[in-house]
Amino acid sequence: MRGATCLGIPVVDGTVLTTTYATRRLLGATPFAGAAVTVHAAVAADGLVTSDDLDHACRLQARRFLLQSHPPTRTWRPRPAGLLWSASGMLLGLALVIASLGFWLPSLAGVWLLALRPWMLVRADRPLPPPPPTETPSLTVRRVTHQGIASLREVIARNLEDNLAYAEAYEVSTRLGIREAADLYTRLLQDPRPAALGPDEGVWLPDATRQREALTADPLLDEEVPARPEDDPDTIKPEILDADFDVPDESEPDE
Amino acid sequence: MPDGAATFFDADLTALDPNGSLFRLDVYSPYPLSNGELSYLQTEFEAEMVAYARRLSASTRSWRWAAAIGLLDLIVLAGLLLFAVVNADRSFLIFAWAFAVALLPGPLIAINLFSHRRRTARARRLLQASFVSAGIGQGGAGSSYMNAIWEAVEHSSRDRDILTLERLCRINNWAAGLRFYRSRRGGRSRAHRHRRPGLLRALLGRRRPRYASSIVSRGL
Least confident of B71-85, B105-119, B184-198: B184-198
Q: Is A20 touching B (CB cutoff 8 A)?
A: yes
Nearest CA in chain B to A43: B36
Domain boundaries along the sequence of chain B: 4-60+118-218, 63-115
Those residues of chain A that have pLDDT short of 50 are 221-222, 225, 241, 252-255
Which of B7, B25, B39 is most worth mutating to test chain A (most A CB atoms within 10 A of its CB)? B39
Q: Is A177 helix (H, G, I), strand (E, B) or coil?
A: coil
Return d(Cα A206, Cα A50) in angstroms, integer: 10
Does residue A17 lie in a domain region? yes
Q: Are B62 and B169 in contact (CB under 8 A)?
A: no
Residues of chain A neighbouring B40 (CB-CB closer than 8 A)? 5, 7, 20, 22, 42, 146
Residues A9 and A108 in one domain: no
Residues A66 and A85 in one domain: no
Domain span at residue A141?
2-71+135-211
Residues A58 and A101 in one domain: no
pLDDT digits (tens, 9 = 90+) for B19-45: 878 898 899 988 888 999 999 999 999
The string of DSSP letters for A18-48 reads EE-HHHHHHHHTS-STT-EEEEEEEE-TT--
pLDDT digits (tens, 9 = 90+) for A201-215: 999 998 765 555 555
C-alpha distance from A13 to closest chain B C-alpha (Å) = 22
Q: How many domains does chain A have?
A: 2
B83–A112 CB contact, under 8 Å = no
A176–B59 CB contact, under 8 Å = no
Does residue A239 lie in a domain region? no
Nearest CA in chain A to B212: A22
Residues A107 and A159 in one domain: no
**For residue B184, is pLDDT > 70?**
yes
Residues of chain A neighbouring B87 (CB-CB closer than 8 A)? 103
| Residues making up chain B, counted from first to last | 220
